[in-house]
Every structure is written in structure tokens, then in C-alpha cells.
Structure 1
Amino acid sequence: MRVALFVTCLADAMFPQVGRATVTLLERLGHEVVFPEAQTCCGQMHVNTGYQRQAVKLVEHHMRTFEPYDAIVAPSGSCVGSVRHQHAMVAERAGKRQLAARAGEVAKRTYELSEFLVDVLGVTDVGARYPHRVTYHPTCHSLRMLRVGDRPLRLLRAVEGIDLVELPDAEQCCGFGGTFAIKNADTSAAMLADKLRNALSTSADVVSAGDSSCLMHIGGGLSRLSVQARAVHLAEILASQ
């Protein structure tokens, strides 16, 4: 299958290893991965902070960039959630019905990594080996918007050598929420403290998730505590051998 990588802004600018891991994984499974170089921000941060009119041009650009592809995969529940639940809405509110229809079609072909692997490719064992104690945080967008359910856990359970331990109160938000962490810093910090406390109670070496944004927040907290545990994206674990 020919797959377009929707790498996301955060992976492109700060966590390139996540994009590389996604490519490594998909190629190892026998698929061709292409990188549409014209891709930019999908517009999620604009929509979430009230700049819907400004987001229209980004939606238009996203359509032009990704319409030619039958499968579009991103290592981010958050950005896939934006494509699926915001793009058509933004276009409709701008009175651009044709753009909204195009956005709806692209949304149908856009997948978060774990759901693409499990639902489209039909695999859970991707041939990974990762001999570490890992706990998994289900991010809010993947859990509540995309409803990926236990797909990431099914993939992790099939990894050779992994010691996967349950995260207490896993479904509680880590407190990042994009600009929420800036506008509501004290609340965000308190939510992060709860998440870190639960993660450290597992004695895991690694806290994993499917979104670099949440992992950036969690990883920053772990770093400030000067503990051995670190944040690692799901794609990086699945790409390991």
C-alpha cells in the first residue's frame, strides 16, 4: 500500500524521531511511505483558540496536499482528530460547502497510527522487540474523539520482551491540552502531578502514548523530577527491534 505520512508540526519541529519511526515501521511491514513536502499545520491550534476564519486557508491547503492519497497516516490522535472533526466544520461555517465535502472525503482516509495498523492492515504483532517496563497513557483526543480503544495496548502486548504495566487512572487527562497548559497553568500542573504520581507508582522505565504533545508535557515533568523514567512515543516502541 502507498501511504502518505502526515507528520504533524510537533514531530516535524521537535520530535523528528517519531516521524522516522513511523516510516521505519510501515516500511518494515511492506508498505511504501511518501512524504508530501507541501504539508503544513492542519489548523488545529487556530481552531482551538478561536481563529476559525484564519484556519480555512490551512484546511484548503491540507486538502490540496493530501487529496491524491488513498491512505494518510499520522502518529498523532490530536491532529487526526482535527482532520476528522474540525476541517469540514470550519469549511461549513465559512460557507464553503464544496471544501467541506472534500474535507469529509479526506477525513475518511486519514488514520491515527494504531488504528491504521489494527483496522486497515489487520496486524497487532509488528515484529517489534522492546525489553523495558512500559506503562501507557491513552491521550484525550485518541480516547475520546477517535475512540481508538485498546488498539495501542493490543499492539504493545505483542511486542517481544516488553513488560507492560497498567497505568492507574489511565483515562485522566495529563493536563496539557495545548494552550490550556498556558492559560490554566496551575490547573495543568496539578493534573500533571497526578499523572506523574500514577506513572511512577508503576515503576515503569517508559511512559508511552500516541501523541508527542502529551509526551512533551509528561516528559518535561519527569525530567524536572530527575527520575529514570522517560517518555517514548508508541511509534518508537513499535519500530524497535
Structure 2
Amino acid sequence: MKIALFPGCMVDMIYPETGIAAVNVLERLGCEISLPDKQVCCGQGLVNSGYADGTRSVAKNTIKAYDACKEDFIVSLTGSCMNAIVNDYPPLFEDDPVFSAKLRSVTSRFREFTQFIVDELGVTDVGASFPHTVTFHKSCHSTRLLGIKEQPLKLLDNVAGLQYIEMEHADRCCGFGGTFSFKEPEISGEMVREKCRTIIESGAEVVTGVDSPCLMNIKGALSRMRSTGELDRDIRVMHIARILDAKE
């Protein structure tokens, strides 16, 4: 099956290991992968902050880049960015029939990484092995707005050696929220500390998820808690693609 990859800026520029792992998994499952040369930032931060006019030019670039791809599906590694394209873009182009049509062609092919594997490929066991205790952060955009709930857990359930531990309030926001963490740093900081406490209390060695921005926020908070002595052990933070690519 031919697919186009939508990594999102954070994977593209900060966590390339996530993109490499995802490509490894998808290629093993028989996918032929392309990445549009002209794909850059989708403008999620702009649209989330209410800058509709400023978002349109950025959004048009994303739409054109992926509309030019005729692959069967577009697979996203970042739920929050995918949500911006699927749910936030349409109102921006209500009065533009040309780009509305292009956008519908793009959004109809978008699938989140685990959603694509489970729902489109019909696979729940990718052959990974990862003998560790793992808890899962159910991020807001993916869980609430995109409806990605069972697919990641089905995949984790079939990873050899993995012991899944559900953290308390697994679907509670980590406090990042894109520009929210910059505009309301005190509130955001308390929210991520609360999230980290539930991760710590779970006893898991690893926390995973499908949204890199959330994982970055959690990783930073856990690191700070470790440096101040509030956390007395290392807890790894890993995108689910890296676990599904593991052969430990």
C-alpha cells in the first residue's frame, strides 16, 4: 500500500528517531512511503491562537503538498497537528471552493499512525518485543477530538513481554496544549506535575503515547522532578512507534 507520511514539526526536527521507527514499522507491514518535499509546519500554533488570516497561507502550503500526493492514505505521527488539519482547517476555507475541495481530498485520507495500522491494515501484532512495564498517556487531541482510543492499546497488548499498567486519570490533559503552556505557564506547570505524579504512582518503567508534544512536555517535567529529588528513578518517555519498532 502506498502512503504519504505526515511527521509533524516535532518529529521532523526534534525527535527523528520517532519518524525512523514509524517508517521501519510501516515498511515491514508492506507500505511504500513517500514524504512531500514541500511539507513544513501545518500552522497549528497559529490556528489554536485564533490567527485565522495568518494560518491560511501556511495551511494552503500543507494542503497543496499533500493534495499533490495521490497515495492511498496520509499517516500522521502527531495527533494534535492532524486535528488542526482535519477539524480546524475547514472553517478557514468555507469561502474558497478550490481549496475546500483540495482539503476534503486530503482530510479523507488522513489516518493517525495506530489507527492506520489497526483499522486500515487490520494488524494488531506488529512483531515487536519490549519486556518492560508501560503506561499510556491518552492525549486530548487524539483521544477526544480524533477518537483514537482502542487502537494504541490493542497494539501495546500484542507486544511480546510488555506489561501494560493503566495510570490513574490516563485521559487527563498533560497541560501542554500548544500555546497554552506559554500563555499560562503556572497552570500548565501544575497540570503536567499532576500528570507526572500519576505516571510515577503507576510504577511503570516507560510512559508512551501517540502525540509528541505531550510526550515532550511530560519528559521535561519528569526530568525536572528527577533533578530536584521528587523522583528517585528513571522513567523513559517514548512515542508508541519506537515501542512497536523494538526488538528487545
State TM-score, norm by structure 1: 0.96
Partner of 2:242: 236
2:48 match: 48
Identify the residue that residue 5 of structure 1 maps to in structure 2: 5
Q: Mark the runs of 5 or more structure 1 residues left unpaired by the alignment.
A: none
Instruction: Tell me the secondary structure at the aligned position of residue 207 of structure 2.
Output: strand
Partners of 2:102 and 2:66 in 1: CA distance: 11
CA distance in 1, matches of 2:12, 2:65: 16
Q: Kindly indicate whether the alpha-carbon contact (under 8 Å) linking 2:64 and 2:102 is maintained by their aligned counterparts in 1.
A: no
Counterpart of 2:147 in structure 1 is 147
Please, which of 84, 87, 90 is the counterpart of residue 88 of structure 1? Answer: 90
Question: What is the CA-CA distance between 1:54 and the residue it aligns to?
Answer: 1.6
In the TM superposition, residue 150 of structure 1 has moved relative to its aligned partner by: 1.3
Paired-residue identity, %: 41
**Structure 1 match to 2:23:** 23
Judge conservation of contact 1:89–1:100 (CA < 8 Å) in 2.
no
Say which SS state the counterpart of residue 142 (structure 2) adopts. helix
| Inter-partner Cα distance in structure 1 for 2:182 and 2:55 | 21
Runs of 4+ in 1 over 6 A off after TM superposition: none
Contact kept? 1:38, 1:65, Cα under 8 Å: yes
Q: Deviations over 1:145-176 (max 9, x none)?
A: 10011111111001001011011111110111
Aligned-pair distance for 1:131?
1.0
Once the two structures are superposed, residues 52-104 of structure 1 have per-residue CA deviations (whole angstroms, 9 ceiling, x without a partner) of 11211122211221112321001111111111101222112xx2122112212
RMSD of aligned residue pairs (Cα, Å) = 1.0
Residue of structure 2 in register with 1:120 after alignment: 120
Residues 1:105 and 2:105 aligned together: yes
How far the C-alpha of 1:35 sits from its partner, in A, is 1.5
Residue matched to 1:73: 75
Number of the residue aligned with 2:132: 132
Q: Helix, strand or coil for the counterpart of 1:86?
A: helix
- The one-letter code of the counterpart of 2:202 is T
Structure 2 residues without counterparts, runs of 5 or longer: 227-232
**For the Cα contact (< 8 Å) 1:222–1:230, is it kept in 2?**
no
Superposition TM-score, scaled by structure 2 size: 0.94
Structure 1 segment 132-211 matched on structure 2, within 5 A? 132-211=132-211
Aligned length: 239
- Partners in 1 of 2:105 and 2:64 — Cα distance? 12
Deviation at 1:39, TM superposition (A): 0.4
* 3-state SS in 2 of match to 1:3: strand
1:88 maps to a residue whose letter is: P
Q: Which residue of 2 aligns with 1:62?
A: 62
Kept in 2, the 8 Å contact 1:87–1:100? The answer is: no
Shift of 1:190: 1.1
